[in-house]
Amino acid sequence: MTTQPPRLALALLKRFVPGEEPLAGDLAEEFAAGRSRAWFWRQVLAAIAVHAFTRQGDERPLPRHVNLTASPLPDVGGLGLVALVGLMTVVMPQAWWLVLAAAVLGAVLGVVLIAINRARLG
């Protein structure tokens, strides 16, 4: 069995929880002492959730702009996405089946993962 904690979990912790080093150290210590990978992931996801829903005093998070369409112009990403959807509908409408299939597969995968996790927890 590997004694290295999940690297992706640690990367997520570092990305989403500022000042995470002591927490990551505690998790690594517990993992080395025999805790499971599932336990490690649960702790990391819970820490991210707790941090996300805990307000740091009066400090407000800076607004973040997410440009889904990689548009070079700020605040026009939504228009780019609409243009892409329109183009896909006109040029290749059958591609929507791929989008639908991906959405269904995602939902099925989510249900399967939940069922596996519940069965494991008993």
Nearer to other proteins, 45 or 81 (CB): 45
Number of residues that bind other proteins (CB under 8 A): 25
CB burial class (10 A; 0-12, 13-18, 19+) of residue 77?
Answer: middle
**Least distance CB 70 / other proteins (angstroms):** 33
Tell whether residue 32 is a contact of other proteins (CB under 8 A). Answer: yes
**Least distance CB 15 / other proteins (angstroms):** 14
Applying CB under 8 A, the span of 38-46, 60-68, 85-93, 110-118 interacting with other proteins comes to 38-46
> By CB under 8 A, what part of segment 52-81 binds other proteins?
54, 56-57
**Least distance CB 60 / other proteins (angstroms):** 15
String of DSSP letters for the chain: ---SPPHHHHHHHHHHSTT-HHHHHHHHHHHHTT--HHHHHHHHHHHHHHHHHS--TT--PPP----TT--SSTT-HHHHHHHHHHHHHHH-TTHHHHHHHHHHHHHHHHHHHHHHHHHHH-
Binding residues for other proteins (CB under 8 A): 5, 17, 21-30, 32, 42-44, 46-51, 54, 56-57
